[in-house]
Structure 1
Amino acid sequence: MTSDTYFCDTYSQLLAGQLSGIKRLDLSGGLKEFPREIFSLADSLEVLNLSGNQLTELPADLHRLHRLKVIFCSDNLFSELPIALGRCPSLDTLGFKANQIQSVEAAALPERLRWLILTDNALEALPTEIGNRPALQKLMLAGNRLQKLPADLAKCSNLELVRIAANRLTTFPACLLDLPKLAWLAFSGNPFSAPVDANQAPASIIPELAWESLQLGKVLGEGASGVIHEGRVRQHGNGGQRVAIKIFKGDITSDGRPSDEMDACLAAGKHAHLIGALAKISHHPLGLHGLVMPLLNETYQALAQPPSLDSCTRDIYDSGLAISAESAAKMIKAASAALTHLHKQGLSHGDLYAHNLLVDPTGNALLSDFGAASRTSALEPGALAAVLRFENRALRILIEEITSRCANVGELSELLA
């Protein structure tokens, strides 16, 4: 079934009153107005996805959807965050990526706000009142025009993940320095994070491969910044080298700019527990960025899945996962060594999660994905200390998650001693 067919079928069912009792509704098909029929679902609807339309406003009585927890309106035409959102009693997650939002009024922020996505807009400021949303855990602001963050953001003591890459921040935001739970921060592409010597040549120059020399295969995985395919580098006389090919989704991702990710991948250099890059891709027919990377053995799999709407900032593990003490020790040591290496290279990872740790059945582990990585060499000492503290908190969380799934914690402790 195509997306257009799905939209037509779902929209027809909505108009006919055939969706009574549903908890999630997805409508993406060029809508220019909010369908009033959605209010007939008020007693059950919890997740409303209206992304990929042409909406410019939401109805003032949106609060009638009294059970609504999550609303996605990405890829629409909003120029401001709708005030109606702030009156929704159960709403805690707002997704308004890739609109034209220039301003956010305090009244548009629900009292229960937990997760705010305003990536890739034209936002120049946030309201001071965002500090009065104590449940806020996840704040995604990459790709805007922010020159500062409100000081009251320091009051958001539950904030754990922040994305402020690709903005216009000239100094590291002081409001982030002492947040007690912050663990995942991306800040590349701001004036304050630019290398002191922007023209400094890296130790080794990554080669380029023309798109025409690559053969794309099946999809291996997809993250916030791009899609990874199996592929080959075409060579005369044989089938070519098998590689992994990452194609970035656009100029701005949830974490920042693809160009900054490629820069971090280059600056990281080689390490036994990092997945680096073999080459940059040039001459893509659509002008997209891309990287050619080593193709891992199929036995390597992500240790967990990314966070869900409910878990917000915590990865989702297989409920039956049991890790041997030996494997757990290898994973922990690998993650720790990779992170230490990055810090020595003047980088933060920004996304140290189990879903970015690829492991094989014996516990061999590789840290992947530089989408949220940032250069730290230009940071003032206080900011650098804070960033390293955030990174170490992410590492502690990962270690705790691995340890909680270890079959023999006592043996693990001995192996890590």
Structure 2
Amino acid sequence: MNTLAQLQAGELAGITRLDLSCGLSEFPREIFDLADSLEVLNLSGNALRSLPDDLHRLHKLRIIFCSDNLFSELPACLGQCAALSMVGFKANRIERVPGAALPPLLRWLILTDNRISELPSELGQRPHLQKLMLAGNRLQRLPESLRNCHRLELIRIAANQLGELPEWLLTLPALSWLAYAGNPLENEADAAALEATPSIAWAQLRLEQQLGEGASGVIHRATWQRPDQPASEVAVKLYKGEMTSDGSPLHEMNACITAGLHPNLIRVEGRIVEHPQAQAGLVMQLIDPSYRNLAGLPSLASCSRDVYRDDTRFTAAVALRIAGGIASVAAHLHRQGITHGDLYGHNILCDEHGDCLLGDFGAASFHATGDSVESRALQRIEVRAFGVLLGELLARVDSGLGAEQRLALEDLQQRCCQPDVLARPGFSEIVRELKGL
């Protein structure tokens, strides 16, 4: 984190990224002294209500973050920034998004947790748009012009007021990651599955070290002491209350429960009750430390693609085991009426043998279990996400894959990613093909 004193003293000359969070209520004009180098500007966590009209003087600016401020309108000056491709204004008070505020090269727009009820038609005139984060607003519809965004791969519209998913949304050729939970359009979670989940009293749990923290909650190692039974080691996830980029953490909890049992899912032992602060939480299977994340989160540069370590390589057997496991669990979820919404390598834990677990249900949504054009389209959108993953695995196989096998897998990968959504194979067919290999 940089300081205002450093900026005002001229100590930051030549930097490409500036991070200032110091209670700012006005945009420091000294930032313009960095115009010939500044590419990333992060002013999150201040008290800003506006940006200067001449922001375009920052002619190299590619990325701007102004989350957790006091904006009530997306500043129109953003649209004059010729190089700007990523705009993040999460958790403000934004009610209005002028079309003029959308820069021509817009690739990634984050407006999560605001008060937006309508979006401008100009959004569909941004051909580079790839990621669109709109969870936690007041949208009742999406602009139909978005049907023209053929590069759009990820959209988060959870926790809005949408009464239906537009037909055109389900035909977008590149869409792979869709989250829409918490809207009137969504099917309800399986009430019987939720009620059948065992309740685990908080007093039976003893938290130990923290294992991880994400947008939706914190995971701890814990000891579970059931009456008249030996103590067991488990993981405890305590959910946060605030809106995440994917949607509501409580929707995530319901999806974890409704998902049920599968060898490639982390087993849910029960739901926590009697927490002293009434915090929602789950008790889950403790994962062996030999499991590691398959990939890292997408970066600012990769946008919608996971980042793998340079030395990540697989044998054919390991890659096929991972692919087969994920296809199998995705087929299982679809039968339960759940789309995962975030089927990515960074949400997969695996060991050296290719045994894997799909986690993070933050973007999961419920759909009808009966066969319909809509349910098939929702499932085939997720198939494209699997196709991306399969391509990433194939690119890193360094041994054991014959020429005929590789051709068959490349053909499967291409069919999973083809632009005609309903022509893609379903996960049951994918599982059969992978078993045949």
Q: 1:313 aligns with which of 296, 304, 312?
A: 304
Q: Does 1:17 align with 2:10?
A: yes
Q: Does 1:87 align with 2:83?
A: no
Number of residues of Structure 1 aligned to a counterpart in Structure 2: 408
Q: Which residue of 2 aligns with 1:41?
A: 34
The residue identity in structure 2 corresponding to 1:410 is G
Q: Does 1:76 align with 2:69?
A: yes
Q: Does 1:228 align with 2:219?
A: yes
SS in structure 1 opposite 2:320? helix
Distance in 2, Cα, partners of 1:283 & 1:180: 47
Distance in 2, Cα, partners of 1:233 & 1:323: 37
Q: 1:338 aligns with which of 329, 335, 341?
A: 329
Distance in 1, Cα, partners of 2:326 & 2:85: 32
The residue identity in structure 2 corresponding to 1:154 is R
Q: Does 1:167 align with 2:146?
A: no
Tell whether the 8 Å contact from 2:344 to 2:385 is kept in structure 1 after alignment. yes
Q: Which residue of 1 aligns with 2:109?
A: 116
Q: Does 1:304 align with 2:295?
A: yes
Q: Relative to 1, partners in 2 of residues 1:379 and 1:18: Cα closer, same or farther, differing over 3 Å? A: farther
**1:136-151 superposed matches below 5 A:** 136-151=129-144
Q: 1:181 aligns with which of 174, 198, 209?
A: 174
Distance in 2, Cα, partners of 1:379 & 1:122: 34
Q: Which residue of 1 aligns with 2:382?
A: 391
TM-score with structure 2 length normalisation?
A: 0.88
SS in structure 2 opposite 1:193? coil
Deviation at residue 239 of structure 1 after TM alignment: 8.9
Q: Relative to 1, partners in 2 of residues 1:226 and 1:266: Cα closer, same or farther, differing over 3 Å? A: same
Q: Which residue of 1 aligns with 2:391?
A: 400
Distance in 2, Cα, partners of 1:294 & 1:383: 34
Distance in 2, Cα, partners of 1:60 & 1:282: 52
* More off after superposition, 332-341 vs 402-411: 402-411
Distance in 2, Cα, partners of 1:212 & 1:23: 50
Tell whether the 8 Å contact from 1:59 to 1:84 is kept in structure 2 after alignment. yes
Q: What do the CA deviations read for 1:63-85 (whole angstroms, capped 9, x no partner)? A: 11111111111111111111111
Deviation at residue 219 of structure 1 after TM alignment: 3.1
Q: Relative to 1, partners in 2 of residues 1:29 and 1:17: Cα closer, same or farther, differing over 3 Å? A: same
Tell whether the 8 Å contact from 1:192 to 1:379 is kept in structure 2 after alignment. no
Distance in 2, Cα, partners of 1:55 & 1:336: 46
Distance in 2, Cα, partners of 1:362 & 1:60: 56
Q: Which residue of 1 aligns with 2:360?
A: 369
Distance in 1, Cα, partners of 2:358 & 2:102: 36
Q: Does 1:353 align with 2:354?
A: no
TM-score with structure 1 length normalisation?
A: 0.92
Distance in 1, Cα, partners of 2:316 & 2:148: 39
Deviation at residue 37 of structure 1 after TM alignment: 1.1
The residue identity in structure 1 corresponding to 2:256 is C
Deviation at residue 258 of structure 1 after TM alignment: 1.3
Q: Relative to 1, partners in 2 of residues 1:402 and 1:54: Cα closer, same or farther, differing over 3 Å? A: same
Q: Relative to 1, partners in 2 of residues 1:234 and 1:46: Cα closer, same or farther, differing over 3 Å? A: farther
Q: Does 1:289 align with 2:261?
A: no
Unaligned ranges ≥5, structure 2:
409-434
SS in structure 2 opposite 1:177? helix
Q: Relative to 1, partners in 2 of residues 1:43 and 1:289: Cα closer, same or farther, differing over 3 Å? A: farther
Q: Which residue of 1 aligns with 2:235?
A: 244
Unaligned ranges ≥5, structure 1:
1-5
Q: What do the CA deviations read for 1:16-56 (whole angstroms, capped 9, x no partner)? A: 11001111111112211111111111111111111111111
Q: What do the CA deviations read for 1:284-323 (whole angstroms, capped 9, x no partner)? A: 4555432221110000011000100000000000111110
Q: Relative to 1, partners in 2 of residues 1:355 and 1:115: Cα closer, same or farther, differing over 3 Å? A: same
Tell whether the 8 Å contact from 2:335 to 2:369 is kept in structure 1 after alignment. no
Tell whether the 8 Å contact from 2:170 to 2:381 is kept in structure 1 after alignment. no
RMSD over aligned CA atoms reads: 2.2
Tell whether the 8 Å contact from 1:43 to 1:65 is kept in structure 2 after alignment. yes
Distance in 2, Cα, partners of 1:338 & 1:359: 14
Tell whether the 8 Å contact from 2:194 to 2:257 is kept in structure 1 after alignment. no
Distance in 2, Cα, partners of 1:326 & 1:83: 53
Q: What do the CA deviations read for 1:63-108 (whole angstroms, capped 9, x no partner)? A: 1111111111111111111111111111111111111111100000
- Percent sequence identity is 52
The residue identity in structure 2 corresponding to 1:32 is S
Deviation at residue 212 of structure 1 after TM alignment: 4.5
SS in structure 1 opposite 2:234? strand
* More off after superposition, 110-119 vs 37-46: 37-46
Tell whether the 8 Å contact from 1:258 to 1:289 is kept in structure 2 after alignment. no
Q: What do the CA deviations read for 1:218-270 (whole angstroms, capped 9, x no partner)? A: 33233342332222235679994222222333331111111111111111100
Distance in 2, Cα, partners of 1:203 & 1:58: 47
Q: Which residue of 2 aligns with 1:3?
A: none
Q: Relative to 1, partners in 2 of residues 1:19 and 1:380: Cα closer, same or farther, differing over 3 Å? A: farther
